[in-house]
Amino acid sequence: MGLGGFELLKPAGAMASLLLKPFNSSLRLLTLQRLTRSLTNAPDEKKCEDLLDKKPIFIHPTAVVHPGAILGQGVSIGPFCTVGSYAKVGNACQLYPGSHIFGDTELGDNCTVLTGAIVGEDLPGRTTIGCNNIIGHHAVIGVKCQDMKYKPGDECFLDIGDNNDIREYTSIHRSSKSSERTVIGDNNLIMGSCHIAHDCKVGNNNIFANNTLFAGHVVVEDYTHTAGAIVVHQFCHIGSFSFIGGGSVVSQDVPRYMMVSGERAELRGLNLEGLRRCGFSAEEIKSMRKAYQKIFIPKDAKLGGIEDRLKELEHNEELSSFPVIRSMVQSIRDSFDETRRGICKFRHWSGS
């Protein structure tokens, strides 16, 4: 037995030593012939070939791997790593020195856990991570939330999709109760020292710059981009294709396609550069600029409140024919639901 009740898994016997060495085809066949002759009840040559074709598992002698852990083919576990009893590590995953997998945690195929990272915790519930993810140095993923309403013993969950790059010192917490989940989608770049709190819902293809901090229950849609050192208040919604300027404190919703910035973040216009980079046509962007002006910079000051302007826009045959305009209107309107926080205040900016 190894440290803390864990067993140090080492290659055992002649078969294991064969699995850890490269073979050319002739030497492989000769070894198989001798092996099948010398062992009683040995598998046939085809089964031995299949076994040798599987990618070997490498476990450094100083790693502590519980015998109950499930390891896929080609897993590499470096020095001083820990893999707990309920962990499932997918094919071709790499655990760099000093990284740790705890609790009921599942890593998909081709994940990389860099030095000092901690994934999962021995709590009721589960941490599920998809394929092709990178967990950065000293990141802490899938641990207990910091919500005072959390009750010890409650199940809590974290689901992360595929192809995410989660950089150094980032923290992502599990949900605060069994009926909720913290969810991260696919293809997100989460830069160093970011924090995603309990029960957040993050979509796909987002870029969060260093020190982006999301409080609990924040919803982030797709293709958003934050600059560094921003803070988002709990329960806020960040709409798709939006941009948050550096150093901003976001305390209300950011509608789709828009840009906000400021110590108390205010609307500064459309995220024009982001829209162009994401492939929106010149015609779509032109229509969005007209719609934005009608909503936030109306020529007729007597037009009424924002709801009246949204209704007028919906009856505008030219603009309402664009799906992006309908999406913009719906995003703004949803933010005024009684369960939501409204939208960031408007400040005129000539960029839109």
- Which residue numbers are catalytic? 198-199, 216
Q: What phi, psi does 49 have (nearest 5°)?
A: -60, -45
Distance CA 63, CA 15 (A): 21
Is the Cα dihedral 133, 194, 168, 104 positive or negative?
negative
Angle between helices 45-53 and 25-38 (to 10 degrees): 130
Helix (H) or strand (E) holding 33: helix 25-38
219-220 sheet: strands from edge to edge: 70-71, 88-89, 105-107, 125-129, 156-160, 182-184, 201-202, 219-220, 237-238
Amino acid making up residue 258: M
Residue 197, CA distances (Å) to 175, 236, 258, 271 in order? 8, 13, 24, 26
Q: Which residues contact 16 (CB under 8 A, 6 or more apart)?
A: none
If one counts every other C-beta atom within 10 angstroms of the C-beta of residue 305, the result is 7
Amino acid present at 303: L
